[in-house]
Amino acid sequence: MANNPTANSSISHRYHPTSGREVPRFAGIKTFFRLPYVDVKEDYDVGLVGVPFDGGASYRPGQRFAPVGVREASSLGRVFHMGRMMAFTQKLKVADVGDVPTVPVDLLKTYERIQTWFGNGLALGKRFIAVGGDHSITLPILREVRKHVGKPVRLIHFDAHLDTYPAAWDCEYHHGSFARHAVEEGLIDAKGSIQIGIRGPLAGGDDLDFVKKHGIRVATVDEIRLRPGLEGFIKSLPDFGDDPVYISFDVDCLDPAYAPGTGTPVPGGLTTFETQQILRALKIKRLVGADVVEINPAYDVSDITQLVGLDVAFELIGLMAESKR
C-alpha cells in the first residue's frame, strides 16, 4: 500500500499509515494499521509481524487466520493515544513486516522457522510485536529474545490459563505449555514474572504447583475485580525498572463476551477496559518484545476479537514508544 507523505507531515519519515481522509478506510490493500509493508531489513524501529500457525491448538484451531483478520480490522487502526497524548508515529517508525513462513503440518519445523526469523530480525536491532498464532508460538520467540538479551526476561503474561501444563498426547510442545518450557529453559525470570487474568476451572489443584514452586505471581480475575479491585491491583504492579520485559497477551484473558473468537474460551474473564487500564499502567523502561495470540477469526463475531487484537497491538506500540529495546 502506498503510504501517505502528507499525513503528520511534520514528522519526516515514511512510516505513516495511509490517511483515512485521503483513501477511505474500507479501500486499499490491508496491512497492520495501514502502515507500509516493508522488508525486514528496512529502517523501521518496531515491526508488526504475523505468525500464522495453529498446530499447537488443543481444542479449536483457526488461529492461523489471525494475522489476516487483524490486518482486516486494521482499517480502523489509528495512531494517536488519548491516554498518552501522543501519536506513536512521533516516537517510532512502525511497519508491517509480513508473516513468518510457518509449516502448517509440523510444530517443530515451525519453531525452527520462527527462531530463524526472529534471530535474524533481532540481530538487525529491531523490536517486534508478533500477531499469532496459537500460544505455542511464544516459546520459540522467547528463545531468541533470551539469546539476544543475554539473560532471562521478566514475562507479563495475560491469559485465562497458566500455560504451565504437562505434555499432552505425549507431545511436550502445545499452546498450553509455553510458560512451563520458558521457565525450564531459563528463558524467563519466574520470580519477576506475573500472569494476569487467570481463572478456573483447572483440571486439578496440582495445576497450580508449578507456578507456586517457581514463584510466578498469579493475578486472578477475582483479585483484579474484587479484592483489591482494579485500582488496587494496578497499584500493586511492580515497577519493572530497567529489567528486560516481554509481554505475551492471550486474548482469552478476556471474557468470551469481549473476545469470542478464540481457541479455548473461559467464561468469567476480564473486560477490554480492564486490560487497557492494566496495559496503560505498566512501568517498563525496557520492553524487548511482545505478542498477541489466540485470536481465532473462525469463531469471531462481528470482528470483535480481531478489533481487540488490533487494540492490544496499539497499546503495545504505546509501551514500546515509552521504552527502549
Name the site residues for Mn ion (rule: CB under 5 A).
135, 159-161, 163, 250, 252
- Give residues with Cβ within 8 angstroms of 113, minimum separation 6: 100, 101, 102, 103
Choose among 131, 209, 205, 201: nearest CA to 161: 201
Choose among 41, 28, 90, 151: nearest CA to 322: 90
- Give residues with Cβ within 8 angstroms of 138, minimum separation 6: 130, 132, 178, 182, 248, 291, 293
Least Å from the CB of residue 158 to Mn ion: 9
Least Å from the CB of residue 263 to Mn ion: 8
Q: Which is nearer to Mn ion, 160 or 278 (CB)?
A: 160
Q: Which is nearer to Mn ion, 18 or 264 (CB)?
A: 264
DSSP 188: B
C-alpha cell at 316: 503495545
Least Å from the CB of residue 177 to Mn ion: 10
CB atoms within 10 A of CB 324: 12
Q: Which is nearer to Mn ion, 34 or 161 (CB)?
A: 161
Least Å from the CB of residue 287 to Mn ion: 19
Q: Which is nearer to Mn ion, 16 or 135 (CB)?
A: 135
CA–CA gap between residue 255 and residue 289 (Å, rounded):
25
Least Å from the CB of residue 140 to Mn ion: 15
Q: Which is nearer to Mn ion, 265 or 318 (CB)?
A: 265
